Amino acid sequence: MWDGTVLRRVLGTGVAIAALALAGCAEEDAATASGDETPSLLNTGERQVFFGDLHLHTSYSLDAAAAKTNTTPDDAYMYAKGEQIDYLGRMIRRTAPLDFLAVTDHAEYLGNVRSAMAGDIAPPIDEDEWKRLIAHEGGDTMMELFGIAVGGLRGNDTPGLTNPNRTYQAWQDIIASAERHNDPGKFTAFVAFEYSPTYGNAASAGHMHRNVIFRGPTYPAMPFGATDSLHHEALWAYAEDNRANGIDSVMIPHNTNLSGGQAYSFLDTYGQPMSADYAARRRANEPLVEISQIKGTSETRPELSPDDEFADFELLPSDGDLAGGYVRSGLARGMELAEALGVNPFEQGFVGASDYHSGASSTEEDNYPGALGLSDNHANAAWIINDLSPVLGSPLANLSAAGLTGVWAEENTRESLFAAFQRRETFATSGPRMRVRLFAGWGDPSGFANAPDWATQAYRWGVPMGGNLAQPAAGATGPSFLVQAAKDPNSGHLDRIQIIKVWRDGGRSYERIYDVAWSGDRTPGADGRLPAVGNTVDASTATYENTIGAPELFASWTDPDFDASQRAFYYARVIEIPTPRWATYLSVASGIPLTDNTVPWLQERAWTSPVYYTPAGAQS
C-alpha cells in the first residue's frame, strides 16, 4: 500500500514541494489512486479532462481505400464510443472509450477511390489493369495501386477520381455521420478533413498536411485539398472566408518529422522570406501542432537535443533541415522570427493522435488492430514484426501504437472543447490516458499548492498550459510552475515529471531539461541526472509490474535561471515506467520473435502545451 508520503526536494533554487513517491505499489492501489476515487491533489478546478483523437481515416480516404480498409465514418465513431466493429473480418473494440473524435479523411479524391474500387464509378485507368490492381491482398500490387490512389496528395487531377459530385456526396456522408453520433455532454463528434499536400517522391519527406477541425454546427459546402492548391496560404484563405460566414475552424499541422524540414521553414510556400502578414495568419489559423502519432514522434531527436536523455523516442528517419522538422526546435525558430517580424508564427499547443487508416482509433498498446488495412493486417504478423513498412520505410514494430489528445474544458461539447483548442489548453500523450496539468505564474504558490482546491486557485493565480505569462512585477524572481500528473489506470506508473525550457539569448536558442518530481528515493548524480527508474518488463510474456514508479506526481518549481529580457517557453513532459510495446504483445500472441533491433518496451509519455513568455516591450 502506498502511504502518500510527501517528499520535499530542493533542485537548485527550484523547489519540488510535493512529489508522491513510492517504493512499490500494488496494481489495485494504483488504479484507485488515478481512477474515480482520487486524492485531493487531483482537484480539477473549473474544468475537466477529456480524451480523444483528432486524426483518423476511414475507407473514404484514398490510401485507406487502396489498402482495402472497410470501415465507414459511422464505424469510426462507434469504435471510439466503445462499441464493437468489423475490421477486415475481425471484430474489434476499444478497452476504454474516447470522449471525442474527429474523422479526418483526406480531402483529395474524397470517397472516389472507394467508389471506384466498389465499381460504382468508372475506373481511372484501363479496366483490366484496374481489376488486377484492386484484386491485391497486400504486398507489391497494393503499392502499385497506392501509386495511383495517392496522386491527389501531389495535386494530380486524375480523371475519374477528381469527381466533385462524388466528393460532395462523401462530404455530406461524413457530416451526417458526425451529427448522428454527436451527443453533447457524453460524446463529441467533430466534422473535419485532412488537407494533404505532399512534395517530392520520397515517402519520408515533403509531408505538409493539416487536419481541419470545424466548430460546427454549420460547415462549408466542400472540403479543400491539395488538388485545389498545394499552398497552405490558400487553405488559410478558405478558412478565413468560411470564418467570415460564421464557419469557424482550427488547422493542426502534423508529421512535422516527415516534412523534410519544411514544417518550420523561414520561407512561405512560394519560396519567399516569411512576412509579418504570413506569420500573423499562420498563428491565427494554426494554434496547435500534433507531436505524436503512429508515424512517430515529432518532439525532438538526439541530433537536435544531445543533452536530452529522452530525445530518442519512437523516431523515423528524417530528411532535410532537421531543425525545421521537429516541434521543439520549430517553436524556438518561432521566437527567432518574432524578433524580426514582431509576431511569432509558431506559438502552438500540443495534441497527439492516431492517424490510423483503419477507422479504429486504437491508442492502446495491448489492443492494436492494425492501422492501414491489408498493409499491416494481423494475419501477416511475421511481416509486421520483421519487415520494413512500405509506407514508412521503417519497421512498424519500432513505433508505439498511437498518440492521444487530452483537453481541459468545462464540458464535453463541441463548443467547450473547441474553445480549449483555441486557447491551447491541451496536452498530448503517446497513447495512455495520463491526467496532466500545468500552471505558471509569478510569486510563491506554496500557500495554495497543497490545498484541496489548488487548481481553482491556480486559474486565478496564473495561466494554464497554452497560455502567455503576464509581465512580472518589478523585482520578481523567475516564474513558478505547478504541475500534476496521474497515471492511466490501465497503464504503467509514473517515472518523473520534467520541465523543458527553451529560450533566446544573444540571437541564439538554448534548451534545458529540469527533473522536478520523481518516484522513489533516487538522487541526481554528480552530472545532475536522475538514475533510471528501473524496468519490470518481461518480454517473453508481454507483462510488467507496477512495483516501481508512482501513481501520481505533483510539484511546484521556480525557474532558477530566469532572465526577464529573454523570450522563453516552458512545457512539462511526464514519463512512465517501461511497459511492453504493441509489437511485443503481437509477438507473444503469434509466436513470431521480435527482430534484434526492436526494443520490446517503451516509456510512454505526455507533453503539455507550452506556456510562453515575451519580454516587456517585445511583440509576440
Provide DSSP, 517-545. Answer: EESTT----TTSPPPP-----BTTTTB--
CA dist 86 and 577 (Å) reads 33
Query: Which of left, alpha, beta for 600 (phi over 0: left; psi -120 to 50: alpha)?
Result: alpha
Per-residue pLDDT for 325 more than 70?
Answer: yes
**Low-confidence winner among 73-77, 244-248, 430-434, 592-596 (lowest mean pLDDT):** 592-596
Residue-wise burial string across 427-448, b where 16 or more C-beta atoms lie within 10 A, e elsewhere? bbbbbbbbbbbbbbbbeebeeb
CA-based nearest residue to 430, from 575, 281, 595: 575
d(CA 488, CA 163): 45
Q: What is the pLDDT of residue 352?
A: 98
Q: Name the residue with higher pLDDT: 559 or 317.
A: 559
Calculate the CA dihedral of residues 125, 130, 136, 139 and round it to 10 degrees.
Answer: -30
Q: What is the 3-state secondary structure (H, E, C) of 67-134?
A: CCCCCCHHHHHHHHCCCCEEECCEEECCCCCCCEEEECCECCCCCHHHHHHHCCCCCCCCHHHHHHHH
Find, among 555, 300, 568, the residue nearest to 438 by Cα: 555
**Nearest CA among 516, 513, 525, 572 for reference residue 306:** 513
Comparing CA positions, the residue from 529, 530, 528 lying closest to residue 518 is 530
pLDDT single digits (tens) 167-205: 999 999 999 999 999 999 999 999 999 999 998 754 445
Mean pLDDT over 273-287 rounds to 98
pLDDT of 595 reads 82
Cell, residue 535: 524496468
For 373, how many CA atoms within 13 A lie in the half-sphere containing its CB? 26
Higher pLDDT, 620 or 508: 508
pLDDT digit string, tens, across residues 212-241: 999 999 999 999 999 999 999 999 999 999
Confidence at residue 9, expressed as pLDDT on a 0 to 100 scale: 26
Supply the pLDDT for residue 29. 33
**φ, ψ for residue 179, nearest 5 deg:** -65, -35
Question: What is the rounded distance in angstroms from the CA atom of residue 87 to the CA atom of residue 93?
Answer: 10
Q: What pLDDT digit, counting tens, does each position of 551-565 carry? A: 999 999 999 999 999
Give the per-residue pLDDT at 30: 32
**Lookup: cell for 497:** 515529471
Is the model more confident about 620 or about 363? Answer: 363
| Residue partners of 13: CB distance under 8 A and separation at least 6 | 477, 558, 560
Q: What rounded mean pLDDT belongs to the chain?
A: 89
Judge whether residue 388 has pLDDT over 90: no
Percent of the chain with pLDDT over 70: 88
Q: Phi, psi (5° rounding) for residue 283?
A: -60, -40
- pLDDT for the residue 40: 38
User: What's the pLDDT score for residue 12?
Assistant: 26
Which of 276, 308, 368 has the alpha carbon at shortest distance from 586?
A: 368
pLDDT for res 140: 83
Query: What pLDDT, on a 0 to 100 scale, did the predictor assign at position 476?
Result: 83
Q: What is the pLDDT of residue 376?
A: 67
Are 400 and 581 within 8 A, CB to CB?
yes
Peptide linkage before 432 cis (omega within 30 of 0): no
Q: Can you give the pLDDT at residue 468?
A: 98
Q: What is the pLDDT of residue 378?
A: 53
483-496 average pLDDT score: 97
pLDDT class for 384, splitting at 50, 70, 90? low
Predicted local distance difference test score (pLDDT) of residue 4: 27
**Is the model's pLDDT at 31 over the cut of 70?**
no
Sign of CA dihedral 95, 101, 106, 112: positive
Residue 456: HSE in the Cβ half-sphere, 13 Å Cα cutoff: 7
3-class SS at 341? Answer: helix
Task: Decide the pairing of beta strands 404-409 and 349-352.
Answer: unpaired
Residue 42 has pLDDT above 60, yes or no: no
DSSP label of 390: T
Percent of the chain with pLDDT over 90: 77
Half-sphere exposure (Cβ direction) of 510: Cα atoms closer than 13 Å: 11
Question: Are 397 and 384 contacting, i.e. CB atoms less than 8 angstroms apart?
Answer: yes
- The residue whose grid cell reads 494554434 is 287
The whole-number average pLDDT for the span 508-532 is: 96
Assess contact for 514 and 46: CB atoms under 8 A. Answer: no
Query: Quick one: average pLDDT of 308-315?
Result: 96
DSSP symbols for 481-493? EEEEEE--TTSPP
Per-residue pLDDT at 318: 87
Neighbours of 619 (CB within 10 A): 11
> Is the whole model's pTM more than 0.75, yes or no?
yes
260, exposed or middle or buried, with CB in 10 Å at 0-12, 13-18, 19+?
Answer: buried
| pLDDT value for 6 | 28
Q: Assess whether pLDDT exceeds 70 at residue 348.
A: yes
How many whole angstroms separate alpha carbon 154 and alpha carbon 283?
25
The cell numbers describing 139, all together, are 504486398
Instruction: For 126, list phi and psi in degrees, rounded to 5.
Output: -50, 135
Q: What are the distances in angstroms from CA 261 to CA 257, 300, 403, 445, 609?
A: 8, 12, 22, 40, 22
What is the spatial distance between Cα 353 and Cα 351, in angstroms, rounded to a whole number?
Answer: 7
pLDDT of residue 590: 85
Q: What is the predicted pLDDT for the residue at 24?
A: 33
Q: Cα separation of 229 and 333, whole Å?
A: 26
Distance, in Å, from the CA atom of 208 to the CA atom of 195, rounded to the nearest integer, reads 9
Q: Can you give the pLDDT at residue 370?
A: 83
Mean pLDDT of 397-425: 95
Which residues, other chains included, contact 27 with Cβ-Cβ below 8 Å and sequence gap of 6+?
A: 545, 546
Distance CA 312, CA 402 (A): 16
Q: Using the predicted structure, report yes or no on whether residue 365 has a pLDDT greater than 70.
A: yes
Name the residue type at position 201: N
Q: Residue 37: is its pLDDT beyond 60?
A: no
The beta strands (E) that lie in 259-361 are given as: 288-293, 296-297, 349-352
Q: What's the confidence (pLDDT) of residue 27?
A: 34
Average pLDDT (440-453) is 92
The answer to whether the CB of 316 falls within 8 A of the CB of 392 is yes
pLDDT tens column, 529-579: 999 999 999 999 999 999 999 999 999 999 999 999 999 999 999 999 999
Q: Determine the 3-state secondary structure of 6 from DSSP.
A: strand
Q: How confident is the model at residue 375 (pLDDT cuts 50, 70, 90)?
A: confident
